[in-house]
Amino acid sequence: MFHKEGHKIILITLIVVVALFLITDTYVVLPWLNMIIMIALLVFLLLILQFFRNPKRQTAYDDNTVVSPVDGKVVVIEEVFEKEFFKEKRIQVSIFMSPVNVHVTRYPIGGQVVYSKYHPGKYLVAWHPKASEENERTTVVVENEVFGPVLYRQVAGALAKRIVNYAKEGQQVNQGSDSGFIKFGSRVDLFLPLDAKINVSLNQKVRGAESIIAEK
């Protein structure tokens, strides 16, 4: 199953790869060179397909927990001052996505979207300390009665040139459902209440919509 954000790119890639296959088969007479080109084209097509995959996930809906919004590796767990929305201290948990990870963004909690904003910006590498404040990014806050407000921020990386965000203020959303997509390497930051119990550790690999990041 492929994400809708990739349908156009997959179709274009497939057409180009088929065309190059036919050209190679017709005009490249050296068998070894013909084979190398065709293998390279197949590998390229497979990379595009795996990047836009959208696997189904089983979310155990629970208003007491925050699930990971993305697949990736936990690279930051620290207390910070969140400047944009809360304007107070929060626990930041950041998850880095490599180009081989699933890049679907999912709602970490269910509830109402109370804030959603896009920020144009730079394309520093995703693990840069200033990436969360200076890179192209979107900030979304979802709130429910049990956990309260949770902020998550999609942050573009050096390779990510487009962030897609579906969250609209006032919208009711389900925990674990699709909230957007980031094309190529990037990260997502979560900002959680100080009394939240963090269930992950640095360098731990997590799965979007399934791994529990925190609970109350």
Judgement on whether residues 160 and 110 belong to the same structural domain of the protein? yes
Q: Is residue 58 part of a domain?
A: no
Judgement on whether residues 11 and 97 belong to the same structural domain of the protein? no
CATH of the domain at 147: 2.70.70.10
Judgement on whether residues 164 and 81 belong to the same structural domain of the protein? yes
DSSP the chain: -B-GGGHHHHHHHHHHHHHHHHHHHHH---HHHHHHHHHHHHHHHHHHHHHTB---------TTEEE-SSSEEEEEEEEEEETTTT-EEEEEEEEEE-TTS--EEE-SS-EEEEEEEEE--B---TTSTTHHHHBSEEEEEEEETTTEEEEEEEEE-SS---EEE---TT-EE-TTSEEEEE-SSEEEEEEE-TT-EE---TT-EE-TTTSEEEE-
Q: Is residue 56 part of a domain?
A: no
Judgement on whether residues 39 and 135 belong to the same structural domain of the protein? no
- Catalytic residue of the set 116, 186, 201, 211: 186
Judgement on whether residues 188 and 116 belong to the same structural domain of the protein? yes
Per-residue pLDDT, 189: 95
Judgement on whether residues 117 and 206 belong to the same structural domain of the protein? yes
Question: Side by side, which strands form the sheet with 137-144?
Answer: 172-173, 111-119, 137-144, 148-156, 186-192, 88-97, 72-82, 205-206
Judgement on whether residues 47 and 123 belong to the same structural domain of the protein? no
Residues 161, 101 contacting (CB under 8 angstroms): no
Judgement on whether residues 133 and 196 belong to the same structural domain of the protein? yes
Q: Quote the domain boundaries for residue 167.
A: 65-215
Per-residue pLDDT of the chain (216 residues; tens, 9 = 90+): 887 887 898 899 999 999 999 999 899 889 899 999 999 999 999 988 887 888 889 898 999 999 999 999 999 999 999 999 999 999 999 999 887 888 899 999 999 999 999 998 776 665 556 666 767 889 999 999 999 999 999 988 766 557 889 999 999 999 999 999 987 668 899 999 999 999 999 999 999 999 999 998
Question: Side by side, which strands form the sheet with 163-165?
Answer: 104-106, 178-182, 163-165
Residues 127, 94 contacting (CB under 8 angstroms): no
Judgement on whether residues 115 and 194 belong to the same structural domain of the protein? yes
Per-residue pLDDT, 114: 98
Per-residue pLDDT, 66: 97
Judgement on whether residues 26 and 114 belong to the same structural domain of the protein? no
- pTM value? 0.85
Per-residue pLDDT, 123: 63
Per-residue pLDDT, 174: 96
Query: Which of these, 53, 23, 52, lies nearest to 38 by C-alpha position?
Result: 23
Domain total for the chain? 2
Residues 202, 77 contacting (CB under 8 angstroms): yes
Could you tell me the two tokens for 109?
A: 């909690």
Judgement on whether residues 154 and 85 belong to the same structural domain of the protein? yes
| Residue 98 is among the residues annotated as catalytic for this protein | no
Judgement on whether residues 80 and 120 belong to the same structural domain of the protein? yes
Q: Is residue 60 part of a domain?
A: no
